[in-house]
Chains A and B, each alone.
Chain A
Amino acid sequence: MSIKKTLAVAALASVLAAGAAEARDQIRIVGSSTVYPFATSVAETFGKSTSFKTPVIESTGSGGGFKLFCAGVGEEHPDITNASRAVKQSEIERCAKNGVEKITEVKVGYDGIVLANSKQGKPLEITRKQIFLALAKDVPNAEGKLVPNPNQKWSDVDPSLPDIKIEVLGPPPTSGTRDAFAELALEGGCKQFDDIKAMKKTDKKKYKAVCHSVREDGAYIDAGENDNLIIQKLNANPDAFGVFGFSFLDQNSDSVQGSLIDGKAPEFEAIADGSYPVSRPLFFYVKNAHVGQVPGILEYLAEFTADKAWGDEGYLTDKGLIPMPVEERAKYKAAVEALGAGS
Chain B
Amino acid sequence: MTELKESMKKARARLKKRHAAETRFKAFGIGALAFAFLCVVMLFTSIISNGYTGFRQTYVQIDVFMDEGIIDPKGDRDEKALRSADYAKIVRQSLYDKFPEVTARRDKRTLANLVSSSAVYDLRDMVLANQAVIGQNLSVWVMASDEVDMLVKDVFKRDEPENTRPITNMEIAWVEKLEAENRVETRFNTNFFVAGDSREPEQAGIRGALIGSALTMLVTLALSFPLGVMAAIYLEEFAPKNKFTHIVEVNINNLAAVPSIVFGLLGLAIFLNLFGMPRSAPIAGGFVLALMTLPTIIIASRAALKSIPPSIMEAAIGVGASKMQAVFHHQLPLALPGILTGTIIGMAQALGETAPLLMIGMVAFIADVPGTPFDPATVLPVQVYLWADSPERAFVEKTSAAIMVLLGFLITMNALAVLLRKKLERRW
Query: Using a CB–CB distance below 8 Å, which chain A residues touch chain B?
Result: 1-2, 5-6, 8-9, 12, 16, 19-20, 22, 24, 26, 28, 33, 36-37, 39-41, 43-45, 47-49, 53-54, 56-59, 76, 119, 225-228, 245, 247-248, 250-255, 313, 315, 318-320
- The yes or no answer to B295 lying at the interface (CB within 8 A) is no
Q: State whether A58 touches B368 (Cβ < 8 A).
A: no
Interface size class of B (residues with CB under 8 A): 35 or more
Q: Specify which chain A residues have a CB less than 8 angstroms from the CB of B256 in the assembled complex.
A: none
Q: Specify which chain B residues have a CB less than 8 angstroms from the CB of A313 in the assembled complex.
A: 109
Q: Specify which chain B residues have a CB less than 8 angstroms from the CB of A39 in the assembled complex.
A: 365
- The yes or no answer to B223 lying at the interface (CB within 8 A) is yes
Of the listed residues B275, B390, B391, the one surrounded by the most CB atoms of chain A closer than 10 A to its CB is B391
Q: Specify which chain A residues have a CB less than 8 angstroms from the CB of B14 in the assembled complex.
A: none
- The yes or no answer to B361 lying at the interface (CB within 8 A) is yes
Of the A-B pairs whose beta carbons lie under 8 Å apart in the complex, a sample of 24, sorted by A's number, is A2-B230, A2-B328, A5-B226, A12-B219, A16-B277, A19-B281, A19-B373, A20-B275, A22-B278, A37-B199, A37-B390, A44-B200, A47-B368, A56-B361, A56-B364, A58-B365, A226-B388, A226-B389, A228-B389, A245-B391, A254-B164, A254-B165, A315-B117, A318-B113
> Which A-B residue pairs are the 9 nearest by beta carbons?
A54-B367, A5-B226, A58-B364, A19-B374, A57-B365, A40-B365, A20-B276, A251-B391, A41-B199
Q: State whether A44 touches B361 (Cβ < 8 A).
A: no
- The yes or no answer to B156 lying at the interface (CB within 8 A) is yes
Identify which of A33, A76, A252 contacts B166 (C-beta below 8 A): A252
The docked-state distance in angstroms from the alpha carbon of A245 to that of B391 is 10
Q: Considering the complex, give the chain A residue whose CB is closest to the CB of B229.
A: A5
In chain B, positions 280-304 with a C-beta closer than 8 Å to chain A are 280-281, 283
The docked-state distance in angstroms from the alpha carbon of A320 to that of B393 is 13
In chain B, positions 109-138 with a C-beta closer than 8 Å to chain A are 109, 113, 117, 121
Q: State whether B391 touches A247 (Cβ < 8 A).
A: yes
- The yes or no answer to B363 lying at the interface (CB within 8 A) is yes
The docked-state distance in angstroms from the alpha carbon of A318 to that of B113 is 9
Q: State whether A319 touches B328 (Cβ < 8 A).
A: no
Q: Specify which chain A residues have a CB less than 8 angstroms from the CB of B219 in the assembled complex.
A: 12
Q: Specify which chain A residues have a CB less than 8 angstroms from the CB of B276 in the assembled complex.
A: 20, 76
- The yes or no answer to B179 lying at the interface (CB within 8 A) is no
Q: State whether B366 touches A76 (Cβ < 8 A).
A: no
Given contacts A16-B283, A28-B279, A254-B165, contact A43 B367 (CB under 8 A): yes
In chain B, positions 213-228 with a C-beta closer than 8 Å to chain A are 219, 222-223, 226-227
Q: A19-B277, A58-B361, A119-B164 are in contact. List 13 more A-B contacts (CB 8 A).
A: A2-B230, A20-B276, A33-B389, A37-B199, A37-B391, A41-B199, A45-B117, A48-B121, A56-B366, A58-B364, A225-B389, A228-B391, A254-B156
- The yes or no answer to B6 lying at the interface (CB within 8 A) is no
Q: State whether A8 touches B367 (Cβ < 8 A).
A: no
Given contacts A20-B275, A57-B364, A225-B389, contact A253 B166 (CB under 8 A): yes
Q: Specify which chain B residues have a CB less than 8 angstroms from the CB of A43 in the assembled complex.
A: 365, 367
Q: Specify which chain B residues have a CB less than 8 angstroms from the CB of A22 in the assembled complex.
A: 278, 374
Q: Considering the complex, give the chain A residue whose CB is closest to the CB of B283.
A: A16
Given contacts A254-B166, A313-B109, contact A59 B374 (CB under 8 A): no
Q: Specify which chain A residues have a CB less than 8 angstroms from the CB of B365 in the assembled complex.
A: 36, 39-40, 43, 56-59
Q: Say whether chain B's binding surface is mostly helix, strand, loop, or mixed.
A: loop
The docked-state distance in angstroms from the alpha carbon of A276 to that of B242 is 72
Q: State whether A12 touches B223 (Cβ < 8 A).
A: yes
* Minimum Cβ distance to chain A for residue B109 (Å): 6
Q: How many A-B pairs fall under 8 Å by CB? A: 113
Q: Considering the complex, give the chain A residue whose CB is closest to the CB of B230.
A: A2
The docked-state distance in angstroms from the alpha carbon of A40 to that of B204 is 12
Given contacts A226-B389, A254-B165, A318-B113, contact A19 B283 (CB under 8 A): yes
Of the listed residues A40, A255, A313, the one surrounded by the most CB atoms of chain B closer than 10 A to its CB is A40
Q: State whether B164 touches A58 (Cβ < 8 A).
A: no
Q: State whether B165 touches A58 (Cβ < 8 A).
A: no
Q: Considering the complex, give the chain B residue whose CB is closest to the CB of A245.
A: B391
* Minimum Cβ distance to chain B for residue A115 (Å): 17
Q: Specify which chain B residues have a CB less than 8 angstroms from the CB of A320 in the assembled complex.
A: 391
Q: Specify which chain A residues have a CB less than 8 angstroms from the CB of B272 in the assembled complex.
A: 76
Q: State whether B275 touches A58 (Cβ < 8 A).
A: no
Q: Specify which chain B residues have a CB less than 8 angstroms from the CB of A57 in the assembled complex.
A: 364-365
- The yes or no answer to B392 lying at the interface (CB within 8 A) is yes
- The yes or no answer to B160 lying at the interface (CB within 8 A) is yes
* Minimum Cβ distance to chain A for residue B86 (Å): 10
* Minimum Cβ distance to chain A for residue B112 (Å): 10
Q: Specify which chain A residues have a CB less than 8 angstroms from the CB of B366 in the assembled complex.
A: 54, 56
* Minimum Cβ distance to chain A for residue B89 (Å): 12
The docked-state distance in angstroms from the alpha carbon of A22 to that of B372 is 13
* Minimum Cβ distance to chain A for residue B185 (Å): 24
The docked-state distance in angstroms from the alpha carbon of A5 to that of B200 is 44
The docked-state distance in angstroms from the alpha carbon of A238 to that of B156 is 21
- The yes or no answer to B376 lying at the interface (CB within 8 A) is yes
Identify which of A1, A20, A40 contacts B277 (C-beta below 8 A): A20
Q: Specify which chain B residues have a CB less than 8 angstroms from the CB of A41 in the assembled complex.
A: 199
Q: Specify which chain B residues have a CB less than 8 angstroms from the CB of A225 in the assembled complex.
A: 389
The docked-state distance in angstroms from the alpha carbon of A316 to that of B230 is 54
* Minimum Cβ distance to chain B for residue A324 (Å): 19
Q: Considering the complex, give the chain B residue whose CB is closest to the CB of A77.
A: B279
Q: State whether A9 touches B156 (Cβ < 8 A).
A: no
* Minimum Cβ distance to chain A for residue B233 (Å): 9
Q: Specify which chain A residues have a CB less than 8 angstroms from the CB of B165 in the assembled complex.
A: 254
Of the listed residues B276, B281, B365, B388, the one surrounded by the most CB atoms of chain A closer than 10 A to its CB is B365
Q: Specify which chain B residues have a CB less than 8 angstroms from the CB of A12 in the assembled complex.
A: 219, 222-223
- The yes or no answer to B191 lying at the interface (CB within 8 A) is no
Identify which of B160, B226, B279, B392 contacts A76 (C-beta below 8 A): B279
- The yes or no answer to B182 lying at the interface (CB within 8 A) is no
Mask of B354-367 contacts with A, CB within 8 angstroms, 1/0: 00000001011111
Q: Considering the complex, give the chain A residue whose CB is closest to the CB of B373.
A: A19
Q: Specify which chain B residues have a CB less than 8 angstroms from the CB of A44 in the assembled complex.
A: 198-200, 367
Q: Considering the complex, give the chain B residue whose CB is closest to the CB of A33.
A: B389
Q: Specify which chain B residues have a CB less than 8 angstroms from the CB of A47 in the assembled complex.
A: 367-368
